Each structure stands twice: as structure tokens, then as C-alpha cells.
Amino acid sequence: MPAEPGATDPASRAAELRDLIRHHNDRYFVDNQPEIPDADFDALMRELAAIEATHPDLIAEDSPTGTVGAAATFAPVTHELAMMSLDKAFDHDEFDHWHQRLMRALGEGRSADDFVCELKFDGLAISARYENRKLVQAATRGNGTVGEDVTANVLGIDDVPKTLPAGAPDVLEVRGEVYLEVSEFNRLNDSLRDAGLPLYANPRNTAAGSLRLKDPAASAARNLRWFSYQLGVVEGGPVLGRHSETFDYLDTLGFPVNDQVEVVHGPDAVKQYFDRAEARRHEFDYETDGAVAKVDSLALQRDLGVTSHHPRWAIAFKFAPEEKSTLLRDIHVSIGGKGKATPFAVLEPVFVGGSTVQMATLHNEDQVRLKDVRPGDIVTVRKAGDVIPEVVGPVLSERPANLEPWEFPSHCSCGLNEPLQRSDGDAAHYCLNGQCPLQRDGWIEHFAARAAMDIEGFGERTVRLFTANELLSDIAGIYELDFEQVRTIEGFGDISVRNLEASIETSKERGLGPLLIGLNIRHLGDTGAHVVARAFGHLDAILAADIDTLSKVDGVGPTIAASLHAFFADPANQSLIERLRVAGVSFEGPEVIDVAQTLEGCTVVVSGSLEGFSRDGAKDAIVRRGGKSPGSVSKKTLALVLGDSPGASKIAKAEELGIPVIDEAAFVSLLDTGEL
């Protein structure tokens, strides 16, 4: 229990309290094993706040009262100097082509011989701005022009200086990468595994998710790290002639700089660095998915300039995807929120692509048969882009004799003996029993997900706990929760309950598009949900519409229209809607945004991960401009936009049909002009 304020020397007690609070944050947010009740933790915070209020001279820049618990706003931040992505090369030949373009751009008699080579960290790019030596703002890259304000959470990262030494520039913007150490990631997963909870997927996603937690206390407890690698806006700083000098300057100001930076001479030396970095990629306690080469001379960088997408003086070399073989222990089937049955591989854990893979999706029955993978097989696992594990196929030479093919189960695993059904023309099986507990839990998780109602802290673990304790039985019940009963569940103290209650309350204003996504209506995807929301403007208008009216919406069609109509005609769903209405959930559609309809009537398909757009963001950008963005390429497709790790089938189809394939820079231009 905390001591009475003033019982000891204030300075000593404040220092002691800060250490105690950080310790208990770790126990609560990281280990899920709190050592003291929430009330005692709150008392520690109040005591520290009282000391700082009485003795302002004792307020530390990194005090938990300022860095933990403050509201994280994620408001938009316009970058004064754009945070551009990099051009990419996937092999030595592509790097050579880039170097040749570089030399042509410089012109005869000029050359760039010295390059700075760096590792490409698999984290989240962040810009930190200092004014009068104090950190005043931190923002994500976002689309390169506008990012999100994550200052409250970045203040909790120990590596990021909060104040700069005397002599620092009046204004200094430093760019770098927030990441999670592999050892810390493994420690987090070990604690979850011991508690019987779902594991985090990989360090990169965990770091990005941690930085966007709405509670900075939880974000700070994740022990995120930061490497600085570039200057942005500088006012009053020294005149530097080389990019390599930037690292020395950052080091003198107290910023962490990676120790694998090298200055090399000539393109062959750059390629040698790439090869060394790829060979050593798993020796480091952080994930790296490539290496970067930059022209060292800042004068040449200025002369070379930038495109609308990337600087001409830098290139990112992406490491090749990795493949490993491991035992396929079993094939299980998960039941999603719409009752969809999805088979997935249960693997002997294997380290591939920078992390340990234990499961991989197999999509549907047809894919299992096509790949002919069987429990007991040695299979090849590929982790493309260090993100999504994929079972490529069996190692037939190692297949045991008489190994039987896997058969898709005939009944759902929910225990209700419900047959799994597959309609003609549909690749997936479904459990059609509305009472299926697996389907119920999946629907609630989907409803609370970021693309839908974005309820922080309402993931799989919380849903399972609430349904198991009979506090929740459907999506509308989220807004009818008895929070006093929630407090009786182990792990839900005052702080976590208040945060959960606030997140649920905030979700009521998400609007019609996210609500339609959350309702999990069969055949209605995320893009279609926003199209319908814009077309009708209010849920009541959708409820009143017949199938013909629904099907006339551009991009809906008869299948989606029939599914929408059937969903809202179901008495059980009507009851859910009325309960959501009573709870105060907004049924209003989005405000009309005046965007030029540059893609009116056009179909643009996006495949792979883009630097400046989320998957949903790219589709929304197309739809807002009057276009369509389906998941497959057809004769009607205007263009296929390729990002990192695109689908091979989409590329093959585009080549077969002669559909233009464009990169992200051309996509941005297409959005602006409507022209390829």
C-alpha cells in the first residue's frame, strides 16, 4: 500500500513511486498478473500526482502522470515535409536497373559512388518533432502527407528523448522506426501461453497495434523501442554535407542509431551489403525485411529530387520470402461469425520469415484437395513478406505410406450436431444453426473489430470470457453489459472496466458503414457496406427498401440485395436492430464528401499491401471517386494495383486479359486524374 504523501522526502518518494508504477504497469498490461488491486494502483498514481502538484520542480519529463493514462487522440497530422515510401528492388538485377536510372538522372560527368546502407526495419515509421528542445508531437507516416497523432503513446517509449541537450536546433524533426524486440515479443507470448490466451501474430503487428492502443498505459507497458534514421524539418541546425553525418549528429543528440549502418563505395559493395544483411537477418533482436541504400551526398540527393511517390536517391532491397519444411500435425476447422467453416493447418512450430509459425490457413475444402496436404505430411511453409504464413504443399518424397487424404468434416464442431452445408457455386461450407456458440462468438468479435465498431479490448479473450460467464449472448448485448458484473471477472479491475466502457460508448458514433460491416451480413463485404451506407444515408431507409430498390444500388446486385433483405426481414435480427437503436447506436450514414468522381463507372482491383493506404483505405478511395473495387480481376477491370506480396492469381489473370498492372505511384495519379 502507498505511504502517506509527505511521509518521506518528496524527491525520493516521487522517484520511488515512478518505479513502482512502471513495475505494476508491466505486471498488469504485459504479464496479465497484477500484484495489487486496482484501487491500490490508483492510490499510487494519486499520490505521485499530489507530490508533483505541490512540488512542480519535481515533475519528470517521463512521469507516469504525464505519459501514462492521458487520452490518445490519433488526430490527423499533416507532415510539413512528406514522409515518402521507397522504391523497391527484389533482386540484384532490379537494383542494377535502379542504379542505371540514377546515373542517367545525374547526367554525363557526374556520378554517385558513395552509398549509406542500412537495415530496413519491420516496424512502424514515426516522425518526432521537437521545438525549443522539447518533444511536442509524434505522428505516424499515414499516407505520407497526413499521419496520426500518437504523441501520448510515443511519450511512453524510453528510447525516444523527451528533451534535447543544449545547442539543439529550435525546430528538429527526427524520423525513425518503432519496433518490438523479438525477445520482448516472445516474452509477451510466453505470458499469454501460460495464461491459456491467444498469442500475438508477429512483432511488427504487435508493435503497430501497441502504438495505436487508446490507453497509453497499455502502450507504454509493451516496451516498444525506436531507431532513428533521418532528419526531416530542421531550423537552426548545423550544415551537413552527407547522409552518413546525419547518424553521427543524431547520436550526439541522444537518439538511438542502429549499429549496422555502413558507408560503401560503388554498386557492387551495396549488393554485398544486401547479401550480408539477408544472411544475418535472424541474428538481430528485431525483425528486418530488407535493406536500404541511399546516396550519401545530400547535395546529390537534392539534385536527384523525388517523384510523387518516392525519392530517386534511395532504394529498398526486399529480402526473399523464406520457406521451411515442418510436420502438418492436423487440420482443424474454425467457425466464423457468419458460420463460415475455414480449415487451417496445425503445424509443428517452425521458425520461418523471422517468427515461429504454428498455424496457417488452408482457405477451403477445394484448396486442401488441390494442394493434397494430409495430417502426417511434411509440408513446405512459406512466409511471404514476413506477414502471412502459407502452406505451399506436401513434400511427397517424405509422405508416410498409406497416409489417408483429409476429409472435410460433415458437422460443425459446436456440439449441436449441425451439418456443414455448401451451396452450389460456393467455395465455402457454412454452419446454418443460429444458436451455434462458435458462430455467436465469432460474430461478436467481428462486430467489435476495427473495421466495424472498433471497440478496443473486445477481442477473442474478452468475448470468450463474457459469453462463458453468461454476461453476453449477442452483439446488442455489448451495449447492455452490467459493468458491475464485469468487475467480478478476474483481470477486470476499475481501470480496464472504465476503458472498456468508454470504448463501447465511443463506438456508438461509428455510423452506418461500420455498423453494416459489424452486422456481418452474408455476401456484403466491407466495401459494399460503405456503398450501401452512402446510397441510403440511414439504416431505416435500408429497412424500408425492397429487393428491387436494393439491387439498383451500383455495386450491390441481386445476390447482395437478396441477402440484405433476408437479413433485415428476420424477426431475430429486427429485434437486434431495435435494441441497438434503444442503446443509442448511430444509424446515420456518412457525410457527403466532395471528391471528384474521377473513377466513375471504373473497376480497379488492388492486390498486396500498399505503403500509403490500408487495404480498406485503398478500396474506399476508389469507391469515393465513383469506382468499384472487387476482389478479382475481370474483363471490366481498368487496372490492377500491385503492392507488396500481391496475389499471383490476380497477376496471371491480368496478364491473360491484357489488363494494365500499375504500382502505387500510378494508383495515386489514377485517383487524382482518372487516367492511367
CB of 316 closer than 8 Å to CB of 292: yes
C-alpha closest to that of 150 among 207, 204, 235: 207
Choosing from 88, 120, 619, 628, the catalytic residue is 120
The answer to whether residues 149 and 77 touch, using CB atoms and an 8 Å cutoff, is yes
Q: For the sheet with 603-607, list strands across it.
A: 603-607, 637-642, 661-662
Q: 133: Cβ–Cβ under 8 A, 6 or more apart, which residues? A: 163, 164, 165, 166, 168
Q: Which grid cell is 151?
A: 504523441
Residue 159, Cβ density class (10 Å: 0-12 exposed, 13-18 middle, ≥19 buried): middle
Active site residue 120: yes
Helices (H), strands (E): how many in the chain? Answer: 25, 21
Asked if residue 374 lies in contact with residue 362, where contact means CB atoms within 8 angstroms, the answer is no
Strand arrangement, sheet containing 262-265: 87-89, 314-318, 288-295, 114-121, 262-265
Long-range CB pairs of 504-509, under 8 A, 24+ apart, other chains included: 504/455, 504/458, 504/478, 504/479, 507/448, 507/453, 507/454, 507/455, 507/585, 508/479, 508/583, 508/584, 508/585, 508/586, 509/586
CA angle 140, 351, 397 (to 5 degrees): 135
Q: Is 156 helix (H, G, I), strand (E, B) or coil?
A: coil
CA 378 to chain centre: 31
The three cell numbers locating residue 654? 491480368
Give the DSSP H or E segment for 358: strand 355-361
Active site positions, annotated: 120
